[in-house]
Amino acid sequence: MNIKSEQEMLEYGRGYAKRIVKPAVIELVGDVGAGKTTFVRGLAEGLGVKEQVTSPSFTISKSYALPDGGNLVHYDFYRLPEPGIMKDDLMESLRNPDNVVVIEWGESVAEILPDEHIRIEINYTEEGREIKE
Ligand code: ADP
Ligand code: MG
């Protein structure tokens, strides 16, 4: 699917929220600036999160309450090739079946993600971004 603008990416995220069946684990794959965090902003809105979603790249993880219980937990392991204690934090988030867990740069924690997790790839193209689900 081709996504031509930031607005379209937000819309795609909002729409994706309707397809979420908890527990849900989504790994986002794509270069810096591809639109992973933009997707999460739309997803959060679609899931009914009231707070503003910002990139967790400095804090590694950010958590937002979901209206029907649980949290949207957003991780970004870009600056953390050795996840250390954040691995325990992620495992804890994965244990709650009411959570929706989204991970950017998940290579270093790949072995603790459930086998059946969702993987969404975002690639740059001349017209915008190409999504591969
Ligand atoms: P990532 O989390 O993958 O590093 P971000 O979502 O933080 O990326 O940033 C994507 C940037 O690219 C934003 O500044 C956004 O406005 C811009 N952008 C331009 N075109 C698109 C598009 N088609 N889809 C998503 N983002 C886009
Ligand atoms: Mg990001």
For the segment 48-69, what is each residue's pLDDT rounded down to a tens digit? Answer: 999 999 999 888 999 999 999 9
Per-residue confidence (pLDDT) for residue 40, from 0 to 100: 98
Q: How many Å is the Cα radius of gyration of the chain? A: 14
- Write down the mean pLDDT value for the chain: 95
Ligand 2 centroid to 103 CA: how many Å? 9
Per-residue confidence (pLDDT) for residue 89, from 0 to 100: 95
CATH 3.40.50.300 at 2-128, yes or no: yes
Ligand 1 pocket (Cβ < 6 Å) reads 3-6, 9, 30, 32-38, 55, 104, 128-129
Q: Is the pLDDT of residue 81 over 80?
A: no
Per-residue confidence (pLDDT) for residue 85, from 0 to 100: 86
Bond from prior residue into 83 cis (ω within 30 degrees of 0):
no
Q: Is the pLDDT of residue 104 over 80?
A: yes
Mean pLDDT of 73-87: 89
Number of Cβ atoms within 10 Å of the Cβ of 12: 21
Ligand 1 centroid to 17 CA: how many Å? 19
**Two tokens, residue 21:** 């069946």
* C-alpha to C-alpha distance for 121 and 27, rounded to whole angstroms: 8
* Annotated domain spans of the chain: 2-128
